Structure 1
Amino acid sequence: MEAYAAELTKRTGIPITSADLKKVLGALACAKEFWHITHLSGRPFNVVAESLKFFAERGWVKVENQHLELTPAGRKLVDEQGIKPPIESGCKACNRRGISIERWQDLLNRFKEVVAERPLPIIDYDQGFVTEETTVARIALMADRGDIQGKDLLVLGDDDLVSLAAGLSGLPRRVVVLEVDERLVNFIRQVAEKENLPVEAHIFDLVHPLPAELRRQFDTFLTDPPETLEALAIFIGRGLSGLKGAGCAGYFGLTRAESSLTKWRAFQAQLTGQFNVVITDIIHDFNEYVNWDYLLESVRNDLSFVQTWPRYNWYRSAMFRIETVDDNFFRHEEEMKGAPLYEDQEALIFTRRFRKEQ
């Protein structure tokens, strides 16, 4: 398996181990749909796609009607390697979040009403929003940690419309949104005015440093950044520059579909090292994303099993919470220059390079 992993590392440019391949094979032992296999394996989209292609080339996997299945040779390999499928045991009542939104049902119902006419995700910004339940669960999590009641909240990018849910909850003192998409900014402004919410939204590209008037003004920030290391650093750096001091918190999501554990390790080292914050929570699969309309247009079409519409919301991210423990944390906006990179070998957007000419 080590030799196979080395060959796939060369193909993808992503560090791949034999353990990664076993995770994919384990998921394949209990799932037939590509998106389900990707979710269960916890490996980046391109690692899973290339691994399955590799397995098919060797006769371990067959593809029928866009579904995948182990061949007799593949089942023999799985048995010989002692690979076992995952056993999904997450709590169904809270959708595996560890946070109940039962007491937040009124907020959820109202939030669904006000966002019914929300702008849809567009490919220009690689957008995709979470379910309404996820947005309300974020409010519940921040409230559980004491990070939103009577606090000032900074939202960096808001296609999930967390700002409106926060405003409707009546908990924060002030909510400020910085968002590059003018459609979303206008929608947030209209709803905030109609509902008399303490929410303000500004058109802003986070490649630029925070305006001086927004620095050191907030208790909590929330963002959902692109997942290159450069973009993660810039978005989290912008959030930290907005925080007041010790005891402030930041929330953001990080997937396994677009980020390998190698990237996770590098980013966590940056958080605790350069940024000088502590990671207090990592909640697996907390954020559930609605399948965006342009999904199949945005990913590779050279593999038939990829070009099948997911039967469920497969794209999930872990929720990170970080906290400042003293006033000595990263605020150096001048060091965060240049545009973030939205594409690396692990990103879904990277898979467009594999698209066949139409």
Structure 2
Amino acid sequence: MKTLVELANRARELSGVRIYKRNVEAVLSAVQKSGDFWEIIDMSDLPVPAASGIVKVLIEEGILFIDDEENLRLTQKGFDLVRELGIEPFTDYTCKACEGRGIPFYADIELYREFIQLTKDRPKAIRDYDQGSVTPETTIARVLFIDSRGDLRNKDIIVLGAEDDLTGLAIALTRKARSVLVIDIDKRLIDFDNRIFKELGIDNAEARVWDLRNPFPQEMLGKFDVFVSDPPETLPAFRAFIGRGIATLREEGGVGYFGLTLRDSSVFRWRDFQIALTSEFGVAITDIVQDFNHYITWDYHKETKAAELAPVKKDPKTIWYKSAWYRVEVLPGFKRWNEVISDNVFYLDEEGSTT
């Protein structure tokens, strides 16, 4: 029987993404807990191409098989392997009340109820801009987290290219920020926010259409205390969203919030992002809350690369796409990045799969 290292190398050849022994162990641990491919991705914290490659190799080697209901199961050979290697079933100790965030959305139940009522007719996420909406509970927990870290009250806040989650709207609904500016390429979202701001008389909030591949005008640089974003996870997109967010911050001590997932990026990519943050932009990472952001499976799932790569055709039945919530602070000497983005690979690369 092949070793885990050999299985990982074969999965790397098949998928074209970086995979190592620990990733194979994670899949073998997850499949003992659930046969659902999408839940296995969630538990193993892998990009879809990596998890798919590993599963296909394990099927090739007779370690897994797909049953009649399109669930993944260990063969006898597979049971013998996990027993021999001491790989135990996945264990989850996540707090069910706060879903592992440490911030329960119901801590401000009135804000949550108002948000739910106002967003009943929200625009749906579309594939054109790599959109995927988080749950309302996630959006409100984001706002409460920001407030708990002293980054909401009497702050000038800009939300960049992440308004499919309506985080900017939720921040404005608290009536606690000094000002809120929402920037997004999707005019549907901008019009939606501005309509609600006008109806509720929230005159310190505004939404504008902007493509973040284009530099900001000088008057937007250095004007805000906090930025919030949710970047697509290619390096060009990360620089466009996070680099421009940092460029809008007024001074050292300014703060940024954003999500990064292990569903579209590997830990190798996270290292690249973190090097860019600390070495290129000059910021410190103060918080990483794993699986903070829970995404509703998008309507266009069947059209994505993820659905194409999956070894099963069964659609996700539970929330499987999650991301970590990052908080960063800019340090003395931080760099404002405001260059033109012309890279053609903006939304998708070898590790990404959700567009």
TM-score w.r.t. length of structure 2: 0.95
- Per-residue displacement from partner, 1:148-176 (whole Å, max 9, x unpaired)? 10101100011111111111111111111
Residue 56 (structure 2) aligns with: 53
- Per-residue displacement from partner, 1:226-281 (whole Å, max 9, x unpaired)? 00122112211000000001111000000111110111111111111111100000
Residue 31 (structure 1) aligns with: 34
The size of the alignment, in residue pairs, is: 348
Residue 150 (structure 2) aligns with: 146
Residue 329 (structure 2) aligns with: 323
Query: CA shift at 1:301, angstroms?
Result: 5.1
Residue 122 (structure 2) aligns with: 118
Query: CA shift at 1:7, angstroms?
Result: 1.9
- Correspondence 1:177 to 2:182: yes
The whole-number CA distance in structure 2 between the counterparts of 1:175 and 1:52 is: 45
Residues 22-101 of structure 1: matches in 2 within 5 Å? 22-64=25-67, 65-101=69-105
Residue 206 (structure 2) aligns with: 200
**Alignment counterpart, residue 290 of structure 1, candidates 293, 296, 310:** 296
Structure 2 residue identity aligned to 1:168: L
The whole-number CA distance in structure 2 between the counterparts of 1:129 and 1:302 is: 21
- Per-residue displacement from partner, 1:302-351 (whole Å, max 9, x unpaired)? 5675421222111100000000122x1121323x542462111111147x
**Alignment counterpart, residue 159 of structure 2, candidates 150, 155, 160:** 155
| CA shift in 2, pair 1:249/1:304, >3 Å | closer
- Correspondence 1:14 to 2:17: yes
**Alignment counterpart, residue 227 of structure 1, candidates 223, 233, 238:** 233
Query: CA shift at 1:217, angstroms?
Result: 0.5
- Per-residue displacement from partner, 1:52-78 (whole Å, max 9, x unpaired)? 111111111111221111111111111
Where 2:165 maps in the other structure, the secondary structure is coil
The whole-number CA distance in structure 2 between the counterparts of 1:43 and 1:233 is: 22
- Correspondence 1:103 to 2:107: yes
Unaligned runs of 5+ in 2: none
Query: CA shift at 1:300, angstroms?
Result: 4.9
Residue 223 (structure 2) aligns with: 217
- Per-residue displacement from partner, 1:114-133 (whole Å, max 9, x unpaired)? 11101101111121100111
- Correspondence 1:348 to 2:353: yes
The whole-number CA distance in structure 2 between the counterparts of 1:2 and 1:285 is: 28
Unaligned runs of 5+ in 1: 351-358
TM-score w.r.t. length of structure 1: 0.94
- Correspondence 1:279 to 2:282: no
Moved more, 295-304 or 5-14: 295-304
Structure 2 residue identity aligned to 1:84: E
The percent of aligned pairs where both chains have the same amino acid is 39
| CA shift in 2, pair 1:269/1:132, >3 Å | same
| CA shift in 2, pair 1:126/1:58, >3 Å | same
Where 2:25 maps in the other structure, the secondary structure is helix
Where 1:285 maps in the other structure, the secondary structure is strand
The whole-number CA distance in structure 1 between the counterparts of 2:142 and 2:91 is: 26
Residue 356 (structure 1) aligns with: none
Note if contact 1:43-1:260 (Cα within 8 Å) is conserved in structure 2.
yes
Structure 2 residue identity aligned to 1:242: T
The whole-number CA distance in structure 1 between the counterparts of 2:330 and 2:90 is: 36
| CA shift in 2, pair 1:301/1:227, >3 Å | closer
The whole-number CA distance in structure 2 between the counterparts of 1:204 and 1:115 is: 22
Note if contact 1:154-1:220 (Cα within 8 Å) is conserved in structure 2.
yes
Moved more, 196-205 or 240-249: 196-205
Note if contact 1:67-1:305 (Cα within 8 Å) is conserved in structure 2.
no
RMSD of equivalent CA atoms: 1.5
